[in-house]
Amino acid sequence: MVANRQGRALGALVLGGICLGCSPILVRVSELGPIATAFWRSALALLPLSVAFATSGDTAARAVPRSWSEHATAALPGVALAGDLTTWHISIHLTSVTNSTLLANMAPVVVTLITWVFLRRPPRREFLFGLALSIAGVFVLNSGGSRANSHWRGDAVALGASCFYAGCFMLLARARRRFSTGVVMLWSTVAAAVCILPMSLVFEPAFLPTMIAGWAVLLALGWVVHAGGQGLVAFSMAWLPATFSSLTLLIQPVVAAILAWVFLGEPVTVVQAAGGTIVIAGIVLARRGAS
């Protein structure tokens, strides 16, 4: 029974990673700026998430948070998600889709660093070597893009997004141990939308799309990517370790790179492919070296 559930969780995780891999393409073609797009991505996802929660026949879905601490546990992943979406969306407009998505998915390395610093769990030498390998891959990756598509500032913002992404994973894993997927997704998405809204109103020149195509892109981000992709990831977290999940989600950069090549005309150069391979190898090695 456990093996079957873990198999379903792995399938959900992979499918969720594919859905999330479509995200940077939609962000790039969005009519709105990156922060406003992040807000509507979260806000529009509330409709399918609310319907799914209200119609769920699972009794676990009715175990809603009641105390302030329980509300915080369910909502805190959304605070980290707000930081992740905001910084990642900005980086997508500053560097190539391939660079942005790959560097934003360095969460496994960040997770291990956090456990090292705050939980006093020192990694083995393999982690340090993998970390060095990942950093070297970042330099190779950046040197492989054209000046129009590769920018150190955008890459740095994407690395910042990976820190929020790591925090979201750790908080999500904690929340899923106490509440169902529907509860965690709904509470965290509300928190993300609330956190992003003021930034969107202050920093973005436009808040509402003016064309139907603009709304279609936002609906795809909210319903397919967030409610669908993020929901599948949240479901899998109850059965799979956070560190393993973050490794499996490295399928996102692969999907994003293929879609960017097809729809945005951003071909992956040989140097970029080599740098991306080095980064992924470093992440995998770093995870193996974590205690």
- The count of domains in the chain is 1
Spatial separation of the C-alpha atoms in residues 183 and 160, rounded to whole Å: 27
pLDDT for position 101: 84
pLDDT for position 103: 83
pLDDT category, 2, cuts 50, 70, 90?
A: low
Which of the two residues, 100 and 289, has the higher pLDDT score? 100
Calculate what percentage of the chain has a pLDDT beyond 90: 33
Spatial separation of the C-alpha atoms in residues 181 and 274, rounded to whole Å: 37
Spatial separation of the C-alpha atoms in residues 5 and 181, rounded to whole Å: 14
pLDDT for position 144: 59
Q: What type of residue is 259?
A: L
Q: 10 Å Cβ neighbour count for 47?
A: 13
Host domain of residue 41: 14-288
pLDDT category, 148, cuts 50, 70, 90?
A: very low
pLDDT for position 260: 87
Q: Is the pLDDT score of 235 beyond 90?
A: no
Q: Is the pLDDT score of 214 beyond 80?
A: yes
pLDDT for position 9: 77
In a domain, 50, yes or no: yes
pLDDT for position 231: 79
pLDDT for position 280: 77
Residues 6+ apart with CB under 8 A from 16: 228, 229, 230, 231, 232, 233, 236, 249
Q: Is the pLDDT score of 143 beyond 70?
A: no
pLDDT for position 147: 44
Q: Which of 34-43, 159-168, 261-270 has the highest mean pLDDT?
A: 34-43
In a domain, 9, yes or no: no
In a domain, 1, yes or no: no
Phi, psi of 186 (to 5 degrees): -70, -50
pLDDT for position 12: 83
Q: Which of 1-10, 73-82, 269-278 has the highest mean pLDDT?
A: 73-82
HEC profile of 94-160: CCCHHHHHHHHCCHHHHHHHHHHHHCCCCCCHHHHHHHHHHHHHHHHHHHCCCCCCCCHHHHHHHHH
Compute the average pLDDT of residues 26-43: 96
Q: Which of 15-29, 79-93, 127-141, 229-243 has the highest mean pLDDT?
A: 79-93
In a domain, 264, yes or no: yes
Nearest to 277 by CA among 267, 289, 269, 288: 269
- pLDDT tens digits, one per residue of 44-90: 999 999 998 888 765 554 578 888 989 999 999 999 999 999 999 99
pTM above 0.85, yes or no: no
pLDDT for position 81: 94
In a domain, 61, yes or no: yes
In a domain, 2, yes or no: no
Mean pLDDT (the chain) is 82
Compute the average pLDDT of residues 227-254: 73
